[in-house]
Amino acid sequence: MNKREDLYEKIVELAVRRGFFWQSYEIYGGVAGLVDLGPLGAVLKRNIEEKWREWFIIRHQDFIVEIETPMITPRAVFEASGHLEHFTDPIVECRRCGRKFRADHLVEEKTGTTVEGLKPYELTKIIKENDIKCPICNGNLGEVREFSLLFQTTIGPYSENVGFLRPEAAQGMFTSFKRVYEAMRGKLPLGIGQIGRVGRNEISPRQGVIRLREFTIMEVEFFFDPEEPSCPLLPEVENDEIRLISGDMKKAKTKEPIVVTVREGLKKKLIVNEWLAYFLAIGQKFVKDLGIPLEKQVFEEKLPYERAHYSTQTFDQLVKVSRWGWIEVAGHSYRGRYDLSRHIAYSRKDLTVYRQFREPRLVRIEELEVDAEKLKEFYGENSAKILRAISESDKNILLKELESKGYLSIAGFRIPKELFKVKVVEREMKGKRFIPHVVEPSYGAERLLYATLEYAYTIKEGRVILKLPKDIAPISVAVLPLVNREPLVNLARKIYDNLKLTKLRAIYDSSGSIGRRYARSDEIGIPLALTVDYRSLENNTVTLRDRDTWRQVRIKIEEAYKKIPLYIKGELTFEQLGTPVS
């Protein structure tokens, strides 16, 4: 039995008791897939977000920015993005008891084979052929159908104004791309990041904090010119090794990843784009900073039928945990021009950007011309309105619509092909308009929080120590009077109050034996325990105890205020804090 095997139960027990997380609305029986983050969990999550922000935003702040857009999204957006059509799971209902199940999960459990990418009718067939029954009442199952994972609502008092909760932050970046691009003065590459909540209406989530109906996504949509796809920052990471399972390896049932450098991965065409490769490298450093070693991380390529509808290449960033094995903590997708071109087609707004050529070039272009006179003849006084609508639309989109449909639906009218002329001209162009391509690293914060806790969880001499990275730990220092008596208490409280002024996260604890208080402090991962003893009264020193080694040093109180924040940031070693206590 794997020593980590039962870890999940222990983490959950600790999480509930000490205040990391628990199921939401417990007093009403709880809701599957919803969790509350308690006092420690909320700070831990925020520290993880801050770490992500350092790696993905602040480091690149000249060309990656952060925005915030709403969860509530009008129907038009998900029509364009394809989520209305594709963001579904197959569901099957028991004809006897009426319970509903994930059809793919039932089939996988019964047949032992993976069925990702199968259509509902194919799943129905397998269920019938294998005589799969309701796992609860053994009744017959109905037809498999698609179930939308979008939480639906209504915006305002009109029931036709359907809205949804976003299942990813990405569409907020695509729909506001042009605004951000302009505010950032029209330069590419441009990354737009966002940390925010998303909703996914899972059918019956049963994996605690791992599969949630509402969670926090940390996402960058990185826009670049497809004709200039190289990443100037690549040299910083090109020799980093990554553990990778390619699509071909998966097809060949290889379970062990290969280890390649980022440069090799690109050269062997395992990774299709330099920016995608760059963010894999940044991403594994970020996750390592949470205390999850590189050898417990793998990038697994998704096979075509496993990929989301918008993606041309996707790597799942996987982390190994006790109960579920390898779980996905991030998806790194090459979304190409999919999203922007869909929004251009559906909104008819020009979301292209302009690139100046080094030298003017001769370019063949198709031009759309309206026969204004004929238009007037057929549409009378409405022709002005139609002309205006045409002039406000992207000509290329109109051209495509005209070609495919034979007419144009615009301004409430249907204009036949015959009223247009398409001229092919050769022009000297100084530049051209194009649709940027997009690479997307996207992390789930709560999963990372769980994995972080699991990797921090250690037993030493029969006691739990949560070895959280110092700068991630929710509380930085515990202030403890050696015994709960004056004048020690008075001095300890004074020190605690001063630490609070430095905005350090600190707790004061005076109840129970000092050993018990050390144990309580270790269990929630507080890196330092500051103890006020009788010598403190004589010479204004205190002891600092290291959570992981239980070693102690003695330090002047005044120095402690300055040095503790530096130690937490990793700028001082424990030994540099003071003189060892023997």
Restricting to residues 157-176, which ones interact with a second copy according to CB under 8 A? 157-158, 163, 165, 172, 175-176
Closest to a second copy by CB, 241 vs 289, is 289
Q: Which of 114, 130, 138, 154 binds a second copy (CB under 8 A)?
A: 154
**Residue 85 engages a second copy in binding (rule: CB under 8 A):** no
Site for a second copy in 501-530 (CB under 8 A): 503, 505-508
User: Residue 379 class from Cβ within 10 Å (0-12 exposed, 13-18 middle, 19+ buried)?
Assistant: middle
Site for a second copy in 48-67 (CB under 8 A): 54, 58-59, 61-62, 65-67
**Residue 458 engages a second copy in binding (rule: CB under 8 A):** no
Closest to a second copy by CB, 36 vs 401, is 36
Q: Which of 309, 500, 516, 535 binds a second copy (CB under 8 A)?
A: 500
Q: Which of 4, 7, 74, 84 binds a second copy (CB under 8 A)?
A: 74
**Residue 69 engages a second copy in binding (rule: CB under 8 A):** yes
Closest to a second copy by CB, 100 vs 133, is 100
Distance CA 306, CA 389 (A): 40
Site for a second copy in 329-388 (CB under 8 A): 343, 346-347, 349, 351
Closest to a second copy by CB, 173 vs 375, is 173
- 38-46, 257-265, 318-326, 481-489 -> range binding a second copy (CB under 8 A): 38-46
Site for a second copy in 98-127 (CB under 8 A): 100
Element (H, E) at 104: helix 103-111
Closest to a second copy by CB, 34 vs 399, is 34
Site for a second copy in 267-326 (CB under 8 A): none
**Residue 578 engages a second copy in binding (rule: CB under 8 A):** no
Strands 88-93 and 145-148: antiparallel
Closest CA to 223 of 337, 83, 59: 337
Tell me the residue type at 466: L
Q: How far is the CB of 362 from a second copy (least distance, A)?
A: 30
Closest to a second copy by CB, 68 vs 131, is 68
Site string for a second copy, 189-228 (x = CB under 8 A): -----x-xx-x-xxxx--------xx--------------
3-state secondary structure labels for all residues of 178-223: HHHHHHCCCCCCEEEEEEEEEECCCCCCCCHHHCCCEEEEEEEEEE
Q: What is the CA radius of gyration of the chain?
A: 29
Distance CA 41, CA 473 (A): 10
Judge contact between 141 and 134, C-beta under 8 A.
Answer: yes
Closest CA to 38 of 14, 21, 16, 24: 21
The torsion angles phi and psi of 64, rounded to 5 degrees, stand at: -125, 125
Judge contact between 67 and 194, C-beta under 8 A.
Answer: yes
Other CB atoms within 10 Å distance of the CB of residue 259: 12
Q: Which of 114, 130, 138, 152 binds a second copy (CB under 8 A)?
A: 152
Judge contact between 103 and 127, C-beta under 8 A.
Answer: yes
**Residue 73 engages a second copy in binding (rule: CB under 8 A):** yes
